[in-house]
Amino acid sequence: MSGFIRPEVAATLIKWHEVLIAIAAFLLGLYFTQLPGPVVQGLGIVLIFLGLGYVVVGLRRLRFRGSGAAPGAVRITEGQITYLGPLQGGAVALSLITELRLRGPAGSRIWRIQSETNDVLEIPHDAAGAEKMFDVFAALPGMSPEHLLRALRGAQTGDVIVWQRASEPGLTALN
């Protein structure tokens, strides 16, 4: 079975899997709306909306995804980001994040995460599993997924503050 699909095609399918599943759900919903019966047609309408919504989410995640070629691996577990690198690594609790920065030029970007305890965790954007950080970063108070993607697409070469916890509760400063 391993020789059935070329490695390049398999890599592309894996990269686009969320979008492809969403399109399949959308098409299945369209098919169901053509069948008789209000229950089946209602299910079809639900699948159409779920498929469309998931396409949007899948495309955002796709735009965030790196190559996975940088050293190290990222794990997200139990409210914590962990980076296991060849020379350095560490973990930071999501509730303790005070600042998120993006460093370096395109192709060698590094996420710099600072915590309340002044610990700093630096994670290459292209590290294996780093795409999982999109949902974590997008869930920070006041952070929008579009702002996150815009910062990643930017042509900056220095440090850019992407998100910062406000000093007053309930307020968030975005740059």
CA 115 to chain centre: 20
Per-residue pLDDT band at 106 (split at 50, 70, 90):
low
CATH of the domain at 82: 2.30.29
Over residues 55-81, mean pLDDT: 82
Residue 26 has a pLDDT of 95
Residue 98 has a pLDDT of 92
- Which of 93, 113, 88 has the alpha carbon at shortest distance from 103? 113
Per-residue pLDDT band at 21 (split at 50, 70, 90):
very high
Per residue in 35-46, pLDDT (tens digit) is 999 999 999 999
Q: Are 46 and 26 in contact (CB under 8 A)?
A: no
How far apart, in Å, are the Cα atoms of 97 and each of 1, 23, 123, 169? 44, 35, 14, 14
Domain range enclosing 34: 7-64
Q: Is the pLDDT of residue 155 over 70?
A: no
Assigned domain for 138 exists: yes
Residues 11 and 47 in one domain: yes
What is the total count of domains within the chain? 2
Residue 175 has a pLDDT of 46
* Least confidently predicted of 36-50, 109-123, 156-170: 156-170
Assigned domain for 1 exists: no
Mean pLDDT for all residues in the chain: 84
Residues 6+ apart with CB under 8 A from 155: 106
Assigned domain for 120 exists: yes
Residues 6+ apart with CB under 8 A from 104: 110, 157
